[in-house]
Amino acid sequence: MTLNSLYRMKISDKVLITGSTGFIGSRLASKIGQKNLQSIRIVSRYPCVNFDTVVCNFEKESIPQSALESINTIFHIAGFSHDMRDAAKIQKIYKKVNVDATIRLAKLAVKSNVKRFVFVSSTKAGGSPNFSVCASEKDQGDPEGVYGKTKREAELKLLKIGKESGMHVSIIRPSLVYGPNAKGNLQLMLLGIKNGWFPPLPETGNKRSMIHVDDLVLAILLVADDERANGEIFIATDGTPYSSRDIYNAMCSALDKSIPKWSVPKGLFDMASLVNPRIKYKLNKLLGDECYSSAKLEALGFKAKKSLKDMNETDF
């Protein structure tokens, strides 16, 4: 799949990208910029010399109507997530950024005759998957945590706005995203393996879905362009479930380190999970199932180009 075949943007078209300095947004901006750098306007907390920039902090400010002048497509990636503080204490920030700012942007988009609006949501909005199958968009449960709840609220309100206004609205729920400069648990795991303190994980046969950031960018562009994606939610994965041990082995290979032939017995992790709920939660995140199906996205023609097992150190 090429950019031209995925996103048939006229040379005069202009896109607005929020979250453009982040992990996903920066790769999207770079991809679109290959066609026409001048076609991009970004929303950022700070001025950016490379792009037409609207300076706005969604936690404190409302995006101005003028930001959407001449905009044809909005890629809304900015959000508030993974704050280490007690979520209940900062629930207002989650709602203000993930819901209020999103809906204001969508309503301004309608007023400004924006044609397409793509929202990057989260699999957390669909709730915890049933461990016996890889969850699809139809398997909607109770959203996970305040982050998942606010993302789901934004999804529902966006779909309503799109239906009532006629604006093309598409929603992407990425599975775990990896790639250059990724942060979070994947980067911590890679650093631990590199420095020799992360233990060899047992093979538990669990299933975790992932997607490379560049494949996610292709999926985002696809749903912006394909009329069949209007009013729909799509889960994005590379189509291959991985066990936690698979991920561990892939990181060892990427770092050119020998893969240990032994592993820490799962029983030790089970014992550790009994110590307190926080440890149990972290171990569930490490060894549990988070498997999703991207069959709906693949029906539009999406096919991931990258696999976890093909990666090198710069891909994590």
Percent of the chain whose predicted confidence (pLDDT) is above 70? 92
- Between 284 and 151, whose confidence is greater? 151
DSSP 8-state class, residue 13: -
**CA separation for the pair 305, 316 (Å, rounded):** 16
Backbone angles phi, psi at 98, to 5 degrees: -80, -30
The beta-carbon contacts of 193-198 under 8 Å, at least 24 apart in sequence, are: 193/248, 193/251, 193/252, 193/255, 193/257, 194/255, 194/257, 198/248
Average pLDDT over residues 21-45: 89
Average per-residue pLDDT in the chain?
90
Q: For position 37, what pLDDT does the model report?
A: 62
Average pLDDT over residues 85-109: 90
Q: Given CA atoms 260, 265, 266, 270 in this order, what sign does their dihedral have? A: negative
Specify the range with the lowest mean pLDDT, choosing from 26-40, 147-161, 242-256. Answer: 26-40
Q: Which of 58-72, 175-189, 269-283 holds the top average pLDDT? A: 58-72
Measured at the CA of 186, the angle between CA 180 and CA 189, to 5 degrees, comes to 120
Rounded to whole angstroms, the Cα distance separating 312 from 303 reads: 21
Amino acid at site 47? P
Q: Which stretches does DSSP call E strand in the chain?
A: 15-18, 40-44, 52-55, 73-76, 116-120, 168-174, 176-178, 210-212, 232-236
Provide the token pair at 83.
Answer: 């704050």
Instruction: Please tell me the least confidently modeled range out of 80-94, 151-165, 219-233, 242-256.
Output: 80-94
**Strand pairing category for 52-55 and 116-120:** unpaired
Q: How wide is the angle at C-alpha 126 spanned by C-alphas 121 and 128, nearest 5°?
A: 125
CB-based contact 48:42 (threshold 8 Å): yes
CA dihedral 18, 21, 26, 30 (to 10 degrees): 90
What pLDDT band is residue 3 in, cutting at 50, 70 and 90?
A: very low
Question: Average pLDDT, stretch 30-56?
Answer: 88
- pLDDT at position 277 is 84
pLDDT at position 194 = 94
Which residues belong to the active site?
147
- Per DSSP, the three-state class of 70 is coil
pLDDT at 299 exceeding the cut of 90? yes
pLDDT at 11: 46
Task: Say if residue 246's pLDDT is above 80.
Answer: yes
Parallel, antiparallel or unpaired: strands 168-174 and 210-212: unpaired
Q: How confident is the model at residue 5 (pLDDT cuts 50, 70, 90)?
A: very low
Length of the chain: 316
Q: How far apart are CA 137 and CA 159, in angstroms?
A: 14
Give 248's contacts (C-beta < 8 A, 6+ positions apart).
Answer: 189, 193, 198, 200, 201
85 pLDDT more than 70: no
pLDDT of 291 reads 95
pLDDT value at residue 2: 46
Q: Are 28 and 77 in contact (CB under 8 A)?
A: yes
Query: Is the predicted pLDDT of residue 278 greater than 90, yes or no?
Result: no
Residue 99 has pLDDT above 50, yes or no: yes
Instruction: Look at the block and give the residue holding tokens 């999703």.
Output: 292
CA distances from 163 to 75, 139, 234, 302 (A): 18, 22, 17, 24
What average pLDDT score do residues 98-109 get? 98
d(CA 174, CA 123): 6
Tell the residue number behind the tokens 């988070």, with chain if given. Answer: 290
Give tens-digit pLDDT for 155-184: 999 999 999 999 999 999 999 999 988 888
- Rounded Cα distance, 217 and 161, in Å: 24
Residue 186 neighbours by CB distance under 10 Å: 17
